[in-house]
Amino acid sequence: MENFSASSLESVTCPACGLLCDDIYLARNAVGQLKMIDNGCTKSMTFFERTTQTASPLIDGKPSSLVDAIKKAAAILRNANQPLIAGLGTEVQGMRSILSLADKVGASLDHMNANSSFRNTLVLQNSGWQVTTLTEVRNRVDLLLIIGTDIVSHNPRFFERNVWNTASMFDQDTSAREIVYLGGQAVETTAGISPAGKKPTVMPCDLSCLPEVIATLRAIISGKTLHITEVAGIKTSDLQNLAERLKSAKYSVVTWVSSDLNFKHAELTIQNIAELVIKLNEKTRSSGLPLGGADGDYSVNQVSTWTSGYPIRNRFSRQYPEYDPYHFSTEKLLNDGEADALLWISEFNPEKTPPKTNLPNIVIGHGNMSVIDANVFIPVSTAGIEHTGTMFRIDSSVSLPIGKLRESTLPSLTEVIAAIEAAL
């Protein structure tokens, strides 16, 4: 295989989480293998250093040509009345092509992380929020309230890049920044210790109790009188103290990771977070900051929204887009027999395999994906390593190009989707 020469690669953008750090330093050997030199984290190392096996398309488990696999995939979609395109682990350009195909075949669309994303989206659609972005945090935050997460399991370099940075625009002593962890048990809080050794405030409670704890905090901030002294093992006086700290902070940031708020109707808790932030803004400045992000979830939502008017869980079977956060979930469509073919997409991560189904199914995925029972498997190259693309950061305003770091014999997702659309 033709390849770029061995080299070191600076300022590479990493699509492995919602932060899109663009300072990654990699080495590439003569066969295109990448090795982290600097500015890596566990997620970026897994992503960039993965050894790719050159995979062949498969039809019913047997190697086939790409042309035949595309023909077969097109036939499955042509014969379906209610195809479901799910997984959707991709970036902006991939999603552009998927939306075109979905419009043509009348598909439903769902992302593998939608259950988690909806905890945020439903708040946005119901009452809205007041939020900020990473560079604002890096230069302004004086009190960071972290709710129900350690952040670093999802965004390993969050503190390094946005909290414990030494230089800041307004000459803040960043080591004096206050960190509060609220909720969760045995949360890993070492990332919240300042470089000078200042420890964060930690207020643990079971995650399942966060709804009442956050409601209490909001009530205190809103000036309500409470008749309890304790909620979920946290003293109300401690919450009162936290409320006072938030009120006296100049630019507090309240953050959460929706996938960690894994309890029923977590959107109502996020709504309470959003509303307490809005209340704080009557007098001082405060902002929410939803973190996390994986497998292109936010990028896919953005493209879906500008193209169809709706974020994910939309469908095109009636010749116009419809949206339903509940009825169009992969689980429900498959379990209730409302889909009659499945196209599963995961170009970043070989481990994100499709749910079990007896329906005719196509998988377009990372070359290392092990898919034994797919009717059609088409391995594709990876955006950010083997072809260029575009991704959105989790804070929504910033999008970055992701690069091509080596050659691949595999086609890109966009090429495959366009070929399927042409073969319909």
Write out the residues near another protein by the rule CB under 8 A: 11, 13, 20, 22-23, 92-93, 96, 100, 103-104, 121, 124-136, 138-140, 161-162, 167-170, 250-251, 281, 284-285, 287, 301-303, 305-311, 316, 319-323, 390, 392, 396-401
Q: How far is the CB of 331 from another protein (least distance, A)?
A: 21
- Of the pair 234, 380, the CB lying nearest another protein is at 380
Per the CB < 8 A criterion, the answer to whether 400 and 391 are in contact is yes
Least spacing, CB of residue 309 vs another protein, in Å: 4
Backbone phi, then psi, for 360, in 5-degree steps?
-55, 130
Amino acid residing at 335? N
The two structure tokens encoding residue 102: 């979905």
Shortest gap between Cβ of 364 and another protein (angstroms)? 18
CA dist 39 and 37 (Å) reads 7
Residue with tokens 């708020």: 261
Cβ distance to another protein smaller for residue 50 or 96: 96
Query: What minimum distance in Å lies between the beta carbon of 308 and another protein?
Result: 6
User: Could you count the other beta carbons within 10 Å of the beta carbon of residue 60?
Assistant: 11
CB nearer another protein, residue 20 or residue 374:
20
Q: Are 213 and 242 in contact (CB under 8 A)?
A: no
As given in the structure block, the two tokens for residue 361 are 């199914």
Report DSSP state, residue 192. G
Is 178 or 212 the residue whose CB approaches another protein more closely?
178
Q: How far is CA 108 from the centre of its chain?
A: 20
Q: Report the DSSP pairing between strands 322-323 and 341-346.
A: unpaired
Please provide the DSSP assignment of 67-122 as one string: HHHHHHHHHHHHT-SSEEEEEEE--HHHHHHHHHHHHHHT-EE--TTHHHHHHHHH
| Residue 95 C-beta: closest distance to another protein, Å | 11
Coil, helix or strand for 377? strand
Nearer to another protein, 87 or 321 (CB): 321
Of residues 50, 41, 37, 46, the one with CA closest to residue 19:
41
CB of 59 to another protein, least distance (A): 29
CB of residue 371 to another protein, shortest distance in Å = 28
Q: Which is nearer to another protein, 90 or 308 (CB)?
A: 308
CB nearer to another protein: give 13 or 115.
Answer: 13
